[in-house]
Amino acid sequence: MERSTQRIARPESCRLSQPARDENDEESTDRHVLLECLGALWAAGVAVDWKRASDQLEPFGTRRRLPLPTYSFDGHRCWPDDQPAGLTLPRQPGERERHREAVFTYAQTWTEKMLPRAAPGGGSAKALRWLVLADRPFGEAERAEDMLANSITRQLEDAGHEVVRVCRRAKPSNSSVKIKGSTIFIDPTREGLKAFFDAEIASVRPADRILCLWHLSGTADPCEDPGMVQTHLLRSYDAILDLARVLSTLALQTPVDLWIVGDKSVQVDEEPVDPEKACVFGPAIVLPQENPMVDCRVVDLNIDDPNIGYQLGAEIGRDVPGADAIVALRGNRRWGPHFSEVALASQISGRETLRSKGVYLITAALGRIGLSLTEYLVSLGATVVAITRPSVPDHLSSGRADLDEDGWTRRLAALDGSKGQVVLRQGDVSDFDSLSGALDSTVREFGRIDGIFHAAGLADLKFLSEMKDTTSAGEFASKLVGISNVYRAIQRLQSTHGQSPEFVFLFSSLASILGGPAMAAHAAANRFMDAFARQVQGKLGVRWINSNWDDWDYSYDEQVTAAYRTRQAEDLALSSDEGINIIKRILATIDNGQVIVATRPFPPRVRQWVDQVRIITPDEQPDEQNRSPPEEVRTGKDEVLRHGDPRSIFLDEVKNLLGAEEIGLDDNFFDVGGDSLLAAELQAHLTKSDRWRSPQLDEIIGAATFGDLYERICSGDHSSR
Ligand SMILES: NC(=O)c1ccc[n+]([C@@H]2O[C@H](COP(=O)([O-])OP(=O)(O)OC[C@H]3O[C@@H](n4cnc5c(N)ncnc54)[C@H](OP(=O)(O)O)[C@@H]3O)[C@@H](O)[C@H]2O)c1
């Protein structure tokens, strides 16, 4: 046992004293003792190889993943009831008690931020190893994103960094990773990505920084119908999710900075936004929460902006990355999300926004919020058409409920004497026909729909490492597909009945902004809704109101509640009466747009959980003494070409073209198999690079050696072109 614990803790020399073992105690299993030893070592500051620890612990018992309440990381104390005496969890900085019934409401806008200063003298204080994840090797520039990748590579290399381009192949091949000069080709699968990163962290010098430009672009047809989910745009989400799933499991020894670059995935101004692209924020925000060794930031830009390469270079090229986790670059301006408080109007008697004779349709009306809302509206005298996935028993579809049954049927039955009525309709919001049919039959039966509350949602919480390929689809069905179907169903209602509801009220979550462990897909789905609500503002003559909620005070799964429910969670959450009251006030205040509803001040929570405020250890301080100026690298030994050296890149172009690894700067073009056709091809290849001027054909043919050709095209006025 002792040997086993020492193998999985570093340093090897650490002495271990095991807690006394009581044979009669059920808890005194080998696994338990081993865990205690590891915990003691870890608390004493010893680095534990947790992966190996979990591998070795597996034979001693099955690991259990305990589901936690949502936002468990945020001020909720989650600990089993039988917590060891005397153990208290320290309060997080910025964590606050909720003042009685305090509610904070915000709108999200964008505020202009300072532009970063370019690195002094064009050089960087510390030479870093960068991975640029782009679809094409350096030099190729078919699309705007290739040009951006090339521009960034040049800037980083000019600043003295080593840059490795990582390209995904079109299809998997026999070897999942293939290196060609400073380009690494990997399989376009998660396995390919994993094989690459495993090799990367095992290497002598793993990457310090990663820039992800994969699937950067992709624009919707401007007249595209918002009701149609543009699945091709979800490729960006898939790419980032794969990356996050792989990086979340890596046992990194030193932190790595990751920038994910998006193209118009947020709406800074009145520009159009494609909600599908906004989904990348889910995994991007959650990744550092699940693996704090990865600092992840999102830089959103407009790829068509001239000079965007230099803007991006200044953003990512700082010696110490900025604290903002999310920035948007537009033209010469830099923006960050901002949360300004909005005051909600009080309800004025006689001017209620929810009418006693109103007709309201609620998707997921038997969910927790849906049922509270149904009860309120029916007690008000309204008609609620309650859409629910499970099949509706006959005696309920007319609104009658059997008093002997439990749960929602009991609660609906209790409404029997109310002024209003509830009508149950079976329907799945991800199925357009069933949803559209429900809207249609409501109008036929009751003459109109005053408002739709879209409360369908699925919180299938899975850590990135546990996610399956189907996890996101489940989350997306209710929100992403669901809200698109609501839009289309209203379109159809307009064409068949010539009418539409006054408002659509969407229930999104704070997870779309704060993320949260195990919430990558959930945050992505809610982020989609947030962007969708912006995209459709003012469309179809409907008020589109989107609300992002903090926790409501509902019991979580029964057995979890018993063990984990704490007074603090209850204190922090909104009661359903509070929630319903806020819904009414939102409807009375907001015409169109988004409201964030939080039970504690929100901006400090964003800073705490989203903005990456890295603590810079002395090791990470830019070290002027060790500064290696780019010139030093370039004037090093001619024979040893450093990875990333422009001559090495030049030679790689030649090697790739001629298919021979052994070619050196002293070789002659014709001696290594060149001919006039290949000379023309080489000319075309070299012309794509900005590092040197384009060679004339006769220069390639006439040069004594490749070194000679390189000197020629880099010399004279053109050399710094
Ligand atoms: N409660 C909170 O604290 C909180 C906080 C922030 C945001 N929200 C959001 O508010 C909304 C309501 O929350 P809640 O707590 O009431 O959730 P809930 O109790 O989990 O209810 C969600 C309901 O959505 C239904 N649903 C899922 N997929 C559906 C589909 N494709 N078609 C029709 N119905 C579907 C589920 O029906 P089945 O029973 O058939 O699965 C379930 O009844 C959710 O969107 C949630 O994300 C809630």
Distance in Å, CA 367 to ligand 1 centroid: 5
Distance in Å, CA 533 to ligand 1 centroid: 18
Residue 352 is predicted with a pLDDT of 74
The average pLDDT across 648-675 equals: 83
pLDDT digits (tens, 9 = 90+) for 260-314: 999 988 999 888 888 999 999 999 999 998 888 899 999 999 988 988 999 999 9
Residue located nearest, by CA, to atom 15 of ligand 1? 368
Distance CA 195, CA 202 (A): 11
Distance CA 328, CA 321 (A): 15
Distance in Å, CA 453 to ligand 1 centroid: 11
Distance in Å, CA 437 to ligand 1 centroid: 21
The average confidence (pLDDT) of the chain is 80
The average pLDDT across 453-467 equals: 90
Among 38-42, 230-234, 322-326, which stretch is predicted with the lowest mean pLDDT? Answer: 230-234
Distance in Å, CA 369 to ligand 1 centroid: 8
Exposure pattern of 641-654 as b/e (b: 16+ CB <10 Å)? beebbbbbbbbbbb
Task: Point out which residues pair with 548 in neighbouring strands.
Answer: 508, 596
Kindly list the domain boundaries of the chain, sorted by start residue. 2-60, 96-355+450-614, 632-720
The average pLDDT across 392-405 equals: 50
- Mutate which of 68, 426, 436, 478 for ligand 1? The one with the most ligand atoms within 8 Å of its CB, which is 478
Residue 713 is predicted with a pLDDT of 85
Residue 672 is predicted with a pLDDT of 81
554 lines ligand 1 (CB under 6 A): yes
pLDDT digits (tens, 9 = 90+) for 356-391: 999 999 999 988 899 999 999 999 999 999 998 876
Q: Name which of 134, 130, 257, 248 is nearest 186 in CA terms.
A: 134
366 lines ligand 1 (CB under 6 A): yes
Please enumerate in sequence order all residues whose Cβ is within 8 A of that of 387, keeping only pairs 6 or more positions apart, or say none: 361, 362, 363, 364, 365, 425, 426, 427, 429, 435, 438, 456
Q: Name which of 345, 226, 203, 321 is nearest 275 in CA terms.
A: 226
Structure confidence at residue 217 as a pLDDT band (50, 70, 90):
low
DSSP 377-394: HHHHT-EEEEEESSPPPH
Instruction: Say whether pLDDT at 531 is over 90.
Output: yes
The average pLDDT across 651-663 equals: 83
556 lines ligand 1 (CB under 6 A): no
pLDDT digits (tens, 9 = 90+) for 172-206: 888 888 888 889 999 989 999 999 999 998 888 99
Q: Which atom of ligand 1 is nearest to the CA of 387?
A: 33
The average pLDDT across 132-143 equals: 86
Give Cα separations from 231 to 59, 261, 476, 564, 618 (angstroms). Answer: 43, 19, 12, 39, 46
The average pLDDT across 305-331 equals: 90
Residue located nearest, by CA, to atom 38 of ligand 1? 389
Which letter does DSSP use for residue 486 in this model? Answer: H
Dihedral, 118, 123, 125, 129 alpha carbons, nearest 10: 100
Structure confidence at residue 517 as a pLDDT band (50, 70, 90):
confident
Distance CA 183, CA 671 (A): 26
Homologous superfamily (CATH) of 632-720 is: ACP-like (1.10.1200.10)
Instruction: Say whether pLDDT at 86 is over 60.
Output: no
599 lines ligand 1 (CB under 6 A): no
Distance CA 183, CA 579 (A): 54
Q: Name which of 342, 343, 344, 346 is nearest 106 in CA terms.
A: 342
The residue with tokens 């690991």 is 63
Residue 87 is predicted with a pLDDT of 33
- Of 2.40.50.140, 3.10.350.10, 3.40.50.720, 3.40.1180.10, the CATH number of 96-355+450-614 is 3.40.50.720
Please enumerate in sequence order all residues whose Cβ is within 8 A of that of 44, keeping only pairs 6 or more positions apart, or say none: none
Distance in Å, CA 389 to ligand 1 centroid: 11
The average pLDDT across 466-491 equals: 94
Residue 562 is predicted with a pLDDT of 42
Q: Could you tell me how far CA 304 lies from the centroid of its own chain?
A: 23
Q: Which residue has the higher pLDDT, 102 or 424?
A: 424
Residue 124 is predicted with a pLDDT of 61
Please enumerate in sequence order all residues whose Cβ is within 8 A of that of 565, keeping only pairs 6 or more positions apart, or say none: 69, 555, 556
Among 30-34, 546-550, 570-574, 631-635, which stretch is predicted with the lowest mean pLDDT? Answer: 631-635
Residue 549 is predicted with a pLDDT of 96
DSSP run (H or E) holding 318: none
Q: Which residue has the higher pLDDT, 360 or 554?
A: 360
Residue 617 is predicted with a pLDDT of 38
Instruction: Say whether pLDDT at 20 is over 60.
Output: no
DSSP run (H or E) holding 697: helix 697-702
Instruction: Say whether pLDDT at 444 is over 90.
Output: yes
Q: Which atom of ligand 1 is nearest to the CA of 552?
A: 3
Residue 405 is predicted with a pLDDT of 47
Residue located nearest, by CA, to atom 45 of ligand 1? 457
Interaxial angle between packed helices 520-535 and 281-290, expressed in degrees from 0 to 180 and rounded to the nearest 10: 150
Using DSSP's 3-state secondary structure scheme, residue 133 falls into: strand
579 lines ligand 1 (CB under 6 A): no
Q: Which atom of ligand 1 is nearest to the CA of 389?
A: 40
Q: Which atom of ligand 1 is nearest to the CA of 573?
A: 3
Residue 548 is predicted with a pLDDT of 97
